[in-house]
Amino acid sequence: MKITNYETFAVPPRWLFLKVETDEGVSGWGEPVIEGRAATVEAAVHELMDSLIGSDPFRIEDAWEKMYRSGFYRGGPILMSAIAGIDQALWDIKGKALGQPVYELMGGAVRDSIKVYSWVGGDRPSNVGEAALERKNAGFTAIKMNATEELQMIDSYEKIQEVVERVKAIREACGPYFGIAVDFHGRVHKPMAKVLAKELEPYNLMFIEEPVLPENNEELGKIGQLSKTPIATGERMFTRWDFKKLLESGDADVIQPDLSHAGGITECKKIASMAEAYDVAVAFHCPLGPIALAACLQVDATVYNAFIQEQSLGIHYNASNDLLDYVKNPEVFEYENGMVKIPSLPGLGVEVNEELVREKAKETTNWHNPVWRHEDGSIAEW
Ligand SMILES: O=C(O)[C@@H](O)[C@H](O)[C@H](O)CO
Ligand SMILES: [Mg+2]
């Protein structure tokens, strides 16, 4: 079998899909994108795919190593997202050609379903108690919320108190054992991260996420000493080599590589195995579209230390589109009791609605992160 052609489609709300074709008529889909930089990743996908035309799509490891090692400059969000989507498409082709779900080609499933969490409050926090209860009533057993819209390096205890109040509202609305994750989103710097982590400790959170920016991961250990709450990070880390130091440090309790940002199925499986050796849990990051989620579920099936899966339901900047808009077989994601069943159809399991994708790709989709400023005029972390 040979790779003969490929096409990319930028579609609303802010996603990029890739279709890879072969000479035997089997095609595969991937989702190579990083939020806010879809066009840049698209350019990288074209460069990398051009070098794969004519090669055997079954030799995924070889394709991965070629894309990673033959370029001299390596890693980072753009290249690793491009590799990620291509890798997903190759696994989709292989699974479809062999009539097997991807997890069967990776050693088989260790679980039949995985717990998922929903977002509440979107990006800007508001009425989170009610929103969380709505999710709970819809069957979810866990949610994630953003801690804060903006916080300066040293900021007021009033803003800290606002975060605490929202978390308290969710805890009170949803009961003592409902899963609550709080995403600091790298918006909180070390001086206030210490304070916030300690203030949130009494609420028995499932985890706090990116308490500091990943470039400051060496601070995680100190925050961990101040609070028992499990610490999660990793959505902005892209390779095994990025995760190596973090895992060696012992400072992360949960890692969150993204199947569309961190080299795809091939790389994320390896990162997860490294984490297993350090007794670190995995919660694959996925605020993206249906192909990315499908790829996550295939890997979740085979990763012993995976315990929960993010999915984009409830994320407000995706609200113009439903996760299932581009999928012809929406029943592939079977939600029940806050869990999603692992799809067992060949390949990634999602049947992409190609006509709709082509139609929507005609619209201009140019989503960028909004620029926020603090009261004093300085740029706020997004
Ligand atoms: O954990 C999450 O899903 C968020 O941090 C998103 O990745 C971020 O807003 C970029 O889209
Ligand atoms: Mg996050």
DSSP single-letter state for residue 29:
E
Enumerate residues 6+ apart whose C-beta is below 8 A from 158. Answer: none
The structural domains of the chain, with segments of one domain joined by +, span 3-100, 104-348
Query: Ligand 1, residues 14, 16, 34, 35: which to mutate, most atoms within 8 A of Cβ?
Result: 35
248 CA from centroid of ligand 2 (Å): 22
Element (H, E) at 183: strand 179-183
Question: Which residue in the list 46, 261, 285, 316 is annotated as catalytic?
Answer: 285
Nearest to 315 by CA among 9, 15, 11: 15
Please report the pLDDT score of residue 320 as a whole number: 61
Under a CB-based contact definition with an 8 Å cutoff, are residues 234 and 267 in contact?
no
Residue 185 annotated in active site: yes
Under a CB-based contact definition with an 8 Å cutoff, are residues 209 and 184 in contact?
yes
Task: State the closest ligand 1 atom to the C-alpha of 123, by its place in the atom list counted from 1.
Answer: 9
Please report the pLDDT score of residue 322 as a whole number: 76
Task: State the closest ligand 1 atom to the C-alpha of 315, by its place in the atom list counted from 1.
Answer: 3
Q: Give the other-Cβ count within 10 Å of 356's Cβ.
A: 14
70 CA from centroid of ligand 1 (Å): 30
DSSP single-letter state for residue 340:
E
Question: Which residue in the list 46, 185, 261, 368 is annotated as catalytic?
Answer: 185
Written as six digits, the tokens of 371 are 């620029």
Task: State the closest ligand 1 atom to the C-alpha of 36, by its place in the atom list counted from 1.
Answer: 11
Per-residue pLDDT in tens (0 to 9) along the chain, 382 residues: 999 999 999 999 999 999 999 999 999 999 999 999 999 999 999 999 999 999 999 999 999 999 999 989 999 999 999 999 999 999 999 999 999 999 999 999 999 999 999 999 754 556 889 999 999 999 999 999 999 989 999 999 999 999 999 999 999 999 999 999 999 999 999 999 999 999 999 999 999 999 999 999 999 999 999 999 999 999 999 999 999 999 999 999 999 999 999 999 999 999 999 999 999 999 999 999 999 999 999 999 999 999 999 998 766 666 666 788 899 999 999 999 999 999 999 999 999 999 999 999 999 888 888 899 999 999 999 8
Residue 285 annotated in active site: yes
Q: Is the pTM of this model over 0.95?
A: yes
Give the residue carrying structure tokens 């009425």. Answer: 127
224 CA from centroid of ligand 1 (Å): 22
Ligand nearest to the CA of 382: 1
Please report the pLDDT score of residue 324 as a whole number: 86
Task: State the closest ligand 1 atom to the C-alpha of 382, by its place in the atom list counted from 1.
Answer: 9
The class (CATH top level) of 104-348 is alpha beta
For helices 290-302 and 264-277, the axis angle rounded to 10 degrees is 40
- Give first-to-last CA distance, the chain, whole Å: 44
* 15-22 and 3-11 strand pairing: antiparallel
Which residues lie with the beta carbon below 6 Å from any ligand 1 atom? 35, 183, 185, 235, 285, 287, 310
- As a whole number of angstroms, the distance between CA 292 and CA 261 comes to 10
Give the residue carrying structure tokens 């379903």. Answer: 113
Report pLDDT digits (tens) over 11-38.
Answer: 999 999 999 999 999 999 999 999 999 9
Complex ipTM value: 0.97
Q: Give the other-Cβ count within 10 Å of 137's Cβ.
A: 9
CATH architecture of 3-100: 2-Layer Sandwich (3.30)
Please report the pLDDT score of residue 210 as a whole number: 98
Q: How many residues belong to the chain?
A: 382
Please report the pLDDT score of residue 155 as a whole number: 96
* 335-336 and 254-255 strand pairing: unpaired
**Single-letter code of the amino acid located at 126:** S
Please report the pLDDT score of residue 7 as a whole number: 98
185 CA from centroid of ligand 2 (Å): 5
> Which burial class, exposed, middle or buried, applies to 373 when counting CB atoms under 10 A from its CB (0-12, 13-18, 19+)?
exposed
Ligand nearest to the CA of 311: 1
